[in-house]
Structure 1
Amino acid sequence: MVSTVRTDTALGFGLYAYIYLFHMPAMILLSGVFAKPAVNPKAIKSTVQLLVVWLVWEGIWAVIHAVVEQKALSKNFLVSPAWTLWFLVTLATMRVLLPYIARLRHPLLVSIGLALIAPLFEGIGVHFSSARTLAFLPFFVVGWLARERGWLTGEWFLKPHIRARAWAWALLGGVAALFSLAPGGFKEFWRIDRWLTHRDSYSWMFEHAPIGSFGPSGDGFVGWIGFAISGLLISLILLAVAAAMTLAVLLVVPRSHSAITVWGAHTLYVYLLHGVVVWFLRESGFIDLVGELGWIGVVVLSLLATGLAVVLSMRWVTRVFRVIIEPKFDWLLQKEQREEEPKPVG
């Protein structure tokens, strides 16, 4: 909800940018933790499920736009994922790539290289979520490596020391203070929000979101080198900040079981369903109306967003909407063969 009015107030812009620094990297990393490079029936079915859900929801959004806005299908239908659906395409693509990445000697370094180099090409963008897939790929690889190599099974993570938690809180608080104390909430100096969505190339981002007076200049090969170095440097810094904040969040998250733990099992329902609710609130003018209240409106929208997430995590929601969130598609697949065929006798 806040994203709709993020440029209206310093608080809204700071809150949006702060969350976007780590929330998608954290989600991608956790997705990588549960991913496996093995190409077996279970892994294939899991990937196909993502694609089926994506196609179902592309159809849902097409119907919504046709009925409410009288819009025909876009020429980019199924090429550019509708709004929040990029995550499904990105996650499916990462799962397809993982078996190949896992065979590399330095998978993390390769993924970081791809994340930094890909935006140099102007063709990178929203088509099949290519820009975001490569930008977030390092976090997916880190999640997979963390499980494979037991990085998250040590005492340092399972029972973080008070000093580690203090460091994590200090980092999270320090970044929040940076956005709070910056003149204009950072917005006037740098539209960092456009960089954090990772939708476009460096050339687009430098054109639409320059950092004050800093930016590549010059013509020809020398100018291109300056442009490349500037883009790589900014992306590398944002990548490092996202990694540090993601680790900090993981360290401060309570280890005990609670009601929130149960809600966390239904994140896909929240992710897909909240878009429809927010879209209708935005199209009706409700969000803009609340946003006119200034920073108070940002607080109200934040509370409403939190309440919406809680409601969409409830079990009755999973029962009602399971058919479009977890549709049955076994009829699409061949009958799963046994992983180990019995050896012939004699």
Structure 2
Amino acid sequence: MERNSFFDNAKVILIFLVVFGHMIQPLTDGSKNINTLYLWIYTFHMPAFIFLSGFFAKGAGNMNYVLKLMKKLLLPYVIFQALYTGYYFLIGKSDWQTDLFSPHWSLWFLFSLFCWHILLYWFKKIPPFLSVIISVQIGLLVGYFGEIGHTFSLSRTFVFFPFFLIGYLLTEKQVMVIKNIGVKVASLIVMGGIAVTIYSLPEFNSGWLLASKSYADLNMAEFGGLARLLVYITAVIMVASVLAWVPTKRFRWTALGTRTLYVYLLHGFFIQFFRQVDLFEVNGFLDFIGLAILSLLIVLLLSSRPVQGTWQPIVEGKASILKNMYQQVANENSQK
């Protein structure tokens, strides 16, 4: 079966927004417009990414499957945890030290992705609607426990799991319902309305969207569950609204959607260096566009074939690209 280009197009767009969001984050304090855009992006980009990860998580869940997951997700997590620790030390980042189970920056996604696959073993045995309700209830409850936080990325694991589960449960036909013209029209109102709401709010703690802190840490110990429920609802309608406009046509860049993990794992080397040396500032629209172009160039570089071939042994635990390149060169030399 031919791979639906919609999903790869979506992953390319989302990984660009991940890089761009990280690029502009240090600039949010100095600009209400940039802060609004940053928060607007964060209402949907990781929930959407996690939703798509769940859609492609159709494994059997037996022991062999778990062992493959450990090789695919936990081994790169350990390696990149060590690499980022060393890198942070080299660039003089103050919080370069961490233990193995306190993920550096964006590495929480690997650890949580492994946990989400494991959780599927039990949740897929529950009727679909009930399983989603239970996962949402767990996501609401964990915020009341201060002990569940950054360590092991447990808070994010439980809070974001409903999106992974929904992605797993939906079929391709059900997902493509969002391409309906009525959904597209409504999505414009939703996306615009959310942007205006964020801009109008006097202050909004981004921790609600990052999902790594307890309600007490977010200064809403009593009614945090209600606030997170509103965040869930916002995320769901924003994910649907944004994906409704993702093209289904295949483009030259569509294939990059199969390499987004490389961009996700490697772009931190750029972003953390930029932040450490305080390289950028935005004094006008052209500066803002420049950051967007730089983010796009980072995506294109890190999803390129040479970068993929170099890092494949670490990211995927195999070296098929390098072997194919070597075989191709050997064949060409033998024909001379």
TM-score by length of 1: 0.79
| Structure label with greater radius of gyration | 1
Give the distance between the partners of 1:142 and 1:92, measured in 2 at CA.
Answer: 16
User: Partners in 2 of 1:46 and 1:79 — Cα distance?
Assistant: 17
Deviation at 1:37, TM superposition (A): 5.7
Cα pair 2:86 2:96 within 8 Å, conserved: no
| Preserved CA contact (<8 Å) 1:16 1:193 | no
For 2:188, the aligned partner's letter is: W
Query: How large is the Cα RMSD of the aligned pairs?
Result: 2.3
Match of residue 111 from structure 2: 89
Superimposed CA distance per residue, residues 129-160 of structure 1 (whole angstroms, 9 cap, x where no aligned partner): 011011101001101111xxx3x315x82683
Please say if 1:198 is aligned against 2:218. no
The verdict on how the C-alpha distance between 1:194 and 1:39 changes in structure 2, with shifts beyond 3 A counting, is closer
| Secondary structure, counterpart of 1:249 in structure 2 | helix
Structure 2 residue 290 is the aligned partner of structure 1 residue 300:
yes
The residue aligned with 1:337 is none
2:18 corresponding residue in structure 1: none
1:144-155 maps to which residues of 2 (within 5 A)?
A: 144-146=168-170, 150=171, 152-154=172-174
> Does the C-alpha gap of structure 1 residues 255 and 100 become closer, same or farther in structure 2, counting only changes over 3 Å?
same
TM-score normalised by L of structure 2: 0.81
Asked if 1:267 corresponds to 2:260, the answer is: yes
Aligned residues: 294
Matches within 5 A, 1:1-346: 1-36=23-58, 38-40=60-62, 41-69=64-92, 74=97, 76-105=98-127, 106-146=130-170, 150=171, 152-154=172-174, 157=176, 160-180=179-199, 182=200, 186=201, 189-206=202-219, 227-228=221-222, 230-287=223-280, 290-291=281-282, 293=283, 297-328=287-318
Partner SS state of residue 239, structure 1: helix
Of 312-321 and 115-124, deviating more is 312-321
Instruction: Flag as ranges the 4+ runs of structure 1 deviating above 4 A.
Output: 70-73
Task: Please name the residue that 2:331 is paired with.
Answer: none
Distance 1:64 1:49, change over 3 A: same
Contact kept? 1:34, 1:144, Cα under 8 Å = yes
- State the secondary structure of the residue aligned to 1:100: helix
Give the C-alpha shift of residue 259 in structure 1. 2.2
Q: Which amino acid letter does the alignment assign opposite residue 314 of structure 1?
A: S
Cα shift at 1:86: 0.5
Please say if residues 111 and 134 of structure 1, whose CA atoms lie closer than 8 Å, have aligned partners that are also in contact.
yes
Q: CA deviation at 1:296?
A: 5.0
Partner of 2:51: helix, strand, or coil? helix
- Displacement of 1:271 in angstroms is 0.5
Q: Which moved more, 1:28-37 or 1:167-176?
A: 167-176
Please state whether the residue corresponding to 2:147 is helix, strand or coil.
Answer: coil
Q: Kindly provide the amino acid, as one letter, of the partner of residue 244 in structure 1.
A: I
Q: Is the 8 A contact 1:158 1:255 kept in 2?
A: no
2:106·2:265 contact (CA, 8 Å) conserved in 1? yes
1:343 paired residue number:
none
Matching residue's letter, 1:305: S
Structure 1 residues 34 and 301, CA, compared in 2 at 3 Å: closer, same or farther? same
Unaligned runs of 5+ in 2: 1-22, 320-336
Q: What does residue 333 of structure 1 align with?
A: none
Q: Which amino acid aligns with 2:267?
A: H
Residue identity over aligned pairs, in percent, reads 30
**Structure 1 residue 73: Cα displacement:** 6.9
Mind listing any 5+ residue stretches in structure 1 that lack a counterpart? 207-214, 216-226, 330-346
The structural deviation recorded for 1:71 is 7.0
